[in-house]
Amino acid sequence: MGEDKLQLTQQVEAALEEIRPYLKGDGGDISLVEITDDYVVKVRLEGSCDGCPLSMQTLKGGVEMVVKKSVPQIVEVIAVDN
Protein backbone atom coordinates (compact mmCIF):
# COMPACT_ATOMS: atom_id res chain seq x y z
CA MET A 1 0.00 0.00 0.00
CA GLY A 2 1.75 3.10 -1.22
CA GLU A 3 -0.28 5.52 0.86
CA ASP A 4 0.48 6.21 4.47
CA LYS A 5 -1.67 3.65 6.29
CA LEU A 6 -2.13 5.95 9.29
CA GLN A 7 -3.57 8.69 7.09
CA LEU A 8 -5.86 6.20 5.34
CA THR A 9 -7.03 4.87 8.71
CA GLN A 10 -7.78 8.40 9.92
CA GLN A 11 -9.81 9.11 6.75
CA VAL A 12 -11.84 5.91 7.15
CA GLU A 13 -12.42 6.61 10.86
CA ALA A 14 -13.67 10.11 9.97
CA ALA A 15 -16.08 8.61 7.43
CA LEU A 16 -17.35 6.12 10.03
CA GLU A 17 -17.93 9.04 12.43
CA GLU A 18 -20.32 10.53 9.86
CA ILE A 19 -22.56 7.49 9.91
CA ARG A 20 -22.11 6.49 13.57
CA PRO A 21 -24.90 8.79 14.92
CA TYR A 22 -27.44 7.03 12.68
CA LEU A 23 -26.33 3.62 13.90
CA LYS A 24 -26.37 4.74 17.53
CA GLY A 25 -29.87 6.12 17.02
CA ASP A 26 -30.97 2.54 16.42
CA GLY A 27 -28.95 1.15 19.32
CA GLY A 28 -25.98 0.02 17.23
CA ASP A 29 -22.42 1.04 16.50
CA ILE A 30 -19.51 0.19 14.23
CA SER A 31 -15.79 -0.19 14.74
CA LEU A 32 -12.90 -0.38 12.31
CA VAL A 33 -11.09 -3.72 12.45
CA GLU A 34 -8.62 -3.50 9.57
CA ILE A 35 -7.82 -1.96 6.21
CA THR A 36 -6.25 -4.60 3.99
CA ASP A 37 -3.44 -3.98 1.52
CA ASP A 38 -5.98 -4.26 -1.30
CA TYR A 39 -8.11 -1.45 0.19
CA VAL A 40 -10.87 -3.52 1.74
CA VAL A 41 -12.20 -2.08 5.00
CA LYS A 42 -13.18 -4.64 7.61
CA VAL A 43 -15.62 -3.42 10.24
CA ARG A 44 -17.43 -4.94 13.19
CA LEU A 45 -21.12 -4.18 13.61
CA GLU A 46 -22.01 -3.81 17.28
CA GLY A 47 -25.04 -3.51 19.52
CA SER A 48 -28.36 -3.89 17.75
CA CYS A 49 -26.57 -3.83 14.37
CA ASP A 50 -24.95 -7.17 15.14
CA GLY A 51 -27.28 -9.80 13.75
CA CYS A 52 -29.89 -7.32 12.52
CA PRO A 53 -31.64 -8.59 9.37
CA LEU A 54 -31.05 -5.19 7.72
CA SER A 55 -27.38 -4.97 8.65
CA MET A 56 -26.11 -5.92 5.17
CA GLN A 57 -28.33 -3.27 3.61
CA THR A 58 -27.03 -0.72 6.11
CA LEU A 59 -23.46 -1.84 5.50
CA LYS A 60 -23.57 -1.67 1.70
CA GLY A 61 -26.10 1.12 1.19
CA GLY A 62 -24.96 3.34 4.02
CA VAL A 63 -21.55 2.63 5.49
CA GLU A 64 -19.81 1.54 2.28
CA MET A 65 -21.27 4.44 0.33
CA VAL A 66 -20.07 7.02 2.89
CA VAL A 67 -16.62 5.45 3.23
CA LYS A 68 -16.06 5.18 -0.54
CA LYS A 69 -17.25 8.75 -1.07
CA SER A 70 -14.83 10.05 1.57
CA VAL A 71 -11.95 7.72 0.69
CA PRO A 72 -12.17 6.82 -3.03
CA GLN A 73 -9.28 4.32 -2.83
CA ILE A 74 -11.47 1.96 -0.78
CA VAL A 75 -12.92 -0.79 -2.95
CA GLU A 76 -15.24 -2.51 -0.46
CA VAL A 77 -16.45 -2.49 3.14
CA ILE A 78 -17.17 -5.86 4.72
CA ALA A 79 -18.36 -6.93 8.16
CA VAL A 80 -16.44 -9.46 10.23
CA ASP A 81 -17.80 -11.56 13.07
CA ASN A 82 -17.34 -10.48 16.64
Q: What is the pLDDT of residues 8-20, one digit of tens each?
A: 999 999 999 999 9
DSSP 36: -
Give the global pTM.
Answer: 0.89
Tell me the percentage of the chain whose pLDDT exceeds 90: 73
Q: What is the rounded CA–CA span in Å between residue 30 and residue 78?
A: 12
Contacting residues for 9 by C-beta, under 8 A, at least 6 apart: 32, 35
Closest CA to 80 of 32, 25, 17: 32
The answer on pLDDT for 66 being more than 90 is: yes
Give the residue-averaged pLDDT of 61-76: 95
Give the residue-averaged pLDDT of 20-34: 94
- pLDDT of amino acid 51: 84
